[in-house]
Amino acid sequence: MIGQILKVMRESKQLKQSDVSKITNIPQNTISQYETGKIQPTFEIIEKLANAYDFKIIFKNDNTNEEINTKNIERKI
């Protein structure tokens, strides 16, 4: 599932895997394996890729609409 999301985000920026490799210093074959689900990226890698695609990772509570992301989590702890 996360691989499909990463691929959709990458394609929304019209980037090739080789472009992302140059931007993030993650090997192209590793990006390919993430997108196909052969290996699972860590949360840090997911965040790095999301940032490269201009996306934020946000956890939203459906009941309270509270949002937590990596930018505001330190203020909550």
- Amino acid at site 58: I
Per-residue exposure over 29-51, b if at least 16 CB sit within 10 Å of its own CB, e if not: ebbbebbeeeeebeeebbbbbbe
Where are the domains positioned within the chain?
2-76
The CATH number given to 2-76 is 1.10.260.40
| pLDDT single digits (tens) 6-47 | 999 999 999 999 999 999 999 999 999 999 999 999 999 999
Q: Considering the entire predicted model, what is its pTM?
A: 0.84
